[in-house]
Structures are given as structure tokens and as C-alpha cells.
Structure 1
Amino acid sequence: MQITGYKSQGVAAAVDLVNAVTTVEGDASFAALREILRVNGFFWHEFEERDAEPLRRWGRTLREFFDAAELETAVSLLNELMLELPMHPHLADHDPHGLHLHFAPPTARLPHRFRASTLMQLSELVVQHGLGRTGTCAAEGCDRVYADTSRAGRRRFCSEACANRTNVAAFRARRRTPRTPEGTG
């Protein structure tokens, strides 16, 4: 399975939720969580106030996955979560995605469907690529997480802003370091 297109929405939703719930600059308000659902193609119109806390808890749980430094740790966590979360896969054919697989029944409440979808899609990403495509931003002082679903898979930062800031700082540091003239050192 390829984690692109429709499937990458679950991965992106997991990243957005973890960043909203667990980071210094995150916004875990009802409105922000609803926007995460909307942007990532979930049935946001079904989101109710009582659904907010289960999503926040899920974001805190998934943080452990993104912080995992070793594949064994991440796999163990994902396996534990798959055992805890009852799943009932079924095929669905609703626009705009065409025929695809859901991991919770349509009668399940939105938080359950969200957990099942993000869990399975993160699991598929790990099966395909190990932990090389997920993690915590490499920028100094940034605590946001990322998941790289691109073809190249070389991402280390949560955003272009963090990548640019880090690269500019490295460039400036190199310029401040005095060079030894050739043949004198």
C-alpha cells in the first residue's frame, strides 16, 4: 500500500493533532480540533464538544510514537494500540476518494474512527519506511512533529520555516568561523 493521496490524510491528521495537543505553541481548542478534522478530510461536521477530550488524549498517546527513537519502541506502541482499539475494517465508496478501506464501522463515533484511521495509516507508513520518515523537528527549540509522505523522504523539519531558520543559522555560524589560509595550518 502506498501512503499517498487519501491515506496520507490520516498521517497528516495525526501530525496535526499531536502538534495541536502536545507542543508549546499548539492550540487544542474545540475550534482548532474541528479545523484539523476538516482540513484532513474527516467528517468534521459530526464533531461535538464531547469528542474533544478523546481526541486530545489520542494526540498525547501518539506523541510517544513520534518521539520513539527506535523502531522496536514504535512497533511495540503501535501493536499495543491496535490491540486496545477494536477495529472492524470495511470497504467504503464515497466521493471524492472512490473505493477505499475504513478501519472502524460507519456507526462508530468520530473519535473512534479517527483513532482507527490514524493508527492504521501510521502503521502502514512504518511498515513501508521504518521510522526514517517520522520524528520531532530537527530545528533547535522546536517541539513539533512531522511525517514525510513525499517520494524522496528526506524531511527532518516540521516546516519550511524551521528548515530555513536552521540553514540560515548554520550558514551564519560558518561565516563567523575564521578560516585558516591554505598551507598555514
Structure 2
Amino acid sequence: MTFAHDTMLALRAGAALVNSAEPPDTLTDLDDLDAFLAQHPFTGRRDATDAELREVRALRPVLRGFWVDDEELLVERVNAVLAEYAALPQLTRHDGFGWHIHATAADRPLAARIAVELAMAMTDVLRAGERDRLGFCAADDCSGVVADLSRNRSRRYCESGCGNRVNVAAYRARRSAAAG
């Protein structure tokens, strides 16, 4: 199953935002928020204030709640976010992308747009029966989330470098065992 580009972008951004809370916290100031938005752009209003940063940081546990095994609970959480932010889906096209859905106005706060975009992406995941694409990092010392958008469903690690770290540790263990 291939998701629409807006769904894929929202899933990547949502996972990255949730994972920004993993130690070390990578969303502590406005420069960090700027860096996050440079990597995961959202159209519309940007206040660039400490209040906006606090609102986006406060989303992390809410959005982490989308990574659950219980489908009914996921539906409940998605519907709660859509209702809280009065989502009103509309077709739009911009920045070279074809038609896609925005469910909040561009003048809504950044945190509202992020929350609704990920909630809408989760509706696509649910409708497509693709919840198995949502998981947790396979590294023993990480509790980050994973949105596996690979064709062969092989993604096991979050994007915080855990895969590389685990592979290097395994390589060193093999070298040590071979040498000893």
C-alpha cells in the first residue's frame, strides 16, 4: 500500500515530533523548532514564540498516544483530536504537490495544524488496514516510535540513529568474539 504524499509527510513528521522527546530532548528552544520545521515543513501561520514552542512540545504525548495496539483506542484518540481542533477537511494544492487534504485553516496555530495533519494521516492508516506500519524502535534502550513507510515493511528502528548504533555494536561484538 502506498499512501498519498500528505499522509506520508504527516506520518514522518508525527513520528519525528514524538521522538524529539526521547533523551536527549531535541525540541527545547525556538532554534530546535525551526530545525524541526525545516525538515518537516507545515504551511501556514508561524508565530515563532515560546508559547508556540510550548504548544508543540505539549503535543508529543498526545501524538504518541496514536502508537497503540488497540484499534478502538486509536480511533477514539484520532476522533478526539479531530473534534478538539474542529477539523474541516478541504482539498488544496500548493508547493508543487497535487491535490491533497488540509483539515485546518492556514491561520490556525502550528500545534493545531500538526495535530490535525497526523490525525488525518492516521485515518488513512486505519482505513487502509495498515496499522502494522506503526511500531516502536527495536533498540533495547529506545522507546521511540516508528512509522514504517518502506515498501518491504522492514523498518525496525526510529530515525534517531538507533539502527546504526545497534549495527555498530553488533559488528564490534562479532569482531571481539572472532579475536578472542
Q: TM-score, normalised by structure 1?
A: 0.78
Match of 1:76 in 2: 76
> Which residue of structure 2 aligns with residue 26 of structure 1?
25
How far off is 1:91 after superposition?
Answer: 1.9
Aligned to 1:51: 52
The 5 Å alignment of 1:1-185 reads 2-20=2-20, 22-28=21-27, 29-43=29-43, 46-49=46-49, 50-66=51-67, 68-159=68-159, 161-166=161-166, 172=173
Give me the whole-angstrom Cα distance separating, in 2, the residues matched to 1:160 and 1:87: 31
What displacement does 1:164 show? 4.5
Contact residue 103 and residue 116 of structure 2 kept, 8 A: yes
Residue type at the aligned position of 2:25: G
Q: Which runs of 5+ in 2 are unaligned?
A: none
Distance change >3 Å, CA 121–CA 38, structure 1 → 2: same
- Cα distance per residue 1:122-158 (max 9 Å; x no partner): 2312332443111221111012211011222232211
- Cα deviation, residue 160, structure 1: 8.5
Give, in whole Å, the separation in 2 of the partners of 1:161 and 1:59: 20
For the structure 1 residues 44 and 146, does the alpha-carbon distance in structure 2 shift closer, same or farther, using more than 3 Å as the test? farther
Q: Take 2:101 and 2:2, find their aligned partners in 1: how far apart are those partners? A: 13
Q: Give the partner amino acid of 1:86.
A: A
Q: Tell me the TM-score normalized by structure 2.
A: 0.80
Alignment partner, residue 180 of structure 1: none
- Closer, same or farther in 2 for the Cα pair 1:159/1:100, shift >3 Å? closer
Overall identity of the aligned pairs, in %: 27
**Deviates most, 140-149 or 94-103:** 94-103
Q: CA deviation at 1:59?
A: 1.3
Cα deviation for residue 11 of structure 1 reads: 1.0
Cα distance in 1 for residues equivalent to 2:70 and 2:168:
30
Matched residue pairs, number? 173
* 157-166 vs 106-115, greater mean Cα deviation: 157-166
Structure number with greater CO (CA < 8 Å, separation at least 6) is: 2
Instruction: Tell me which amino acid in the other structure corresponds to 2:128.
Output: Q
C-alpha distance 43-79 of structure 1, shift in aligned 2 (>3 A): closer
CA radius of gyration, larger in: 1
Q: Aligned-pair RMSD on alpha carbons?
A: 2.7
The gaps in structure 1 that reach 5 residues or longer are 177-185
